[in-house]
């Protein structure tokens, strides 16, 4: 596991301790058993981004605090220059760059996701709504029991409470995702 992911785990453990929350209560709040939660908190297992957002909600902090250890500072606008978003490598072949990390009280999370070709898509669920716009390459998007192939210029808007995931069908692919939660 990379150092960045371990830092997120440490921040979660430290903040839970500061807030004097029981691991059992946090685990229940994000919908996992306590052993799985403790594996996320220790860094033994990487926490999915959807659960990271749920932890942030329970802790009453912006997800940026968990991802970077810093708080968003901007009220009226934030500018992120090309290539300067907060980069997260979820696992080999799947990384994203958060583009609005420095905006307080945001209601949407735009991210650029970069994928390497794979045979399967990891399925996740989260609240809100989600939009994907393919920038380069081609991806397969699974939403529930449906599967869509999208190429550069194509987009999809869907209910992310259904199991969903994306995978590259070209050697690499890049898409913009905007999650409203």
Domains with residue ranges and CATH for the chain: 3-68 (1.10.260.40), 86-180 (2.60.120.10)
- Residue 4 confidence (pLDDT): 78
Stretch among 3-7, 9-13, 29-33 having the lowest mean pLDDT: 3-7
Over residues 92-141, the pLDDT tens digits come to: 888 899 999 999 999 999 999 999 999 998 888 888 999 999 999 999 99
Give the Cα separation of 142 and 145 in Å (integer): 7
Q: What is the pLDDT of residue 1?
A: 56
Instruction: Output the pLDDT for position 89.
Output: 78
Euclidean distance between CA atoms 18 and 32, whole angstroms: 21
- Once rounded to an integer, what is the mean pLDDT over residues 28-47? 93
Strands 129-136 and 108-116: unpaired
pLDDT on residue 92: 80
pLDDT in the model for residue 88: 81
What are the residues facing 143 on neighbouring strands?
A: 146, 164
Sheet of strand 172-180, all strands in order from the earlier edge strand to the far edge: 86-91, 94-98, 108-116, 172-180, 129-136, 155-158
């Amino acid at each position: 596991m990379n150092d960045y992911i371990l830092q997120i785990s440490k921040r979660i453990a430290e903040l839970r301790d500061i807030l004097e929350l029981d691991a059992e209560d946090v685990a229940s709040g994000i919908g996992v058993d306590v052993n799985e939660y403790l594996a996320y908190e220790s860094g033994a297992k990487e926490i999915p981004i959807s659960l990271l957002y749920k932890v942030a909600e329970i802790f009453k902090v912006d997800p940026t605090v968990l991802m970077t250890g810093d708080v968003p500072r901007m009220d009226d606008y934030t500018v992120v220059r090309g290539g300067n978003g907060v980069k997260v490598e979820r696992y080999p072949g799947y990384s994203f760059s958060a583009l609005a990390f420095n905006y307080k009280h945001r209601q949407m999370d735009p991210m650029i996701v970069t994928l390497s070709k794979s045979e399967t898509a990891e399925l996740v669920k989260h609240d809100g709504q989600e939009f994907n716009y393919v920038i380069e390459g081609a991806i397969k998007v699974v939403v529930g029991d449906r599967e869509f192939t999208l190429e550069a210029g194509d987009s999809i808007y869907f209910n992310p409470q259904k199991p969903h995931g994306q995978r590259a069908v070209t050697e690499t692919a890049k898409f913009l995702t905007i999650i409203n939660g």
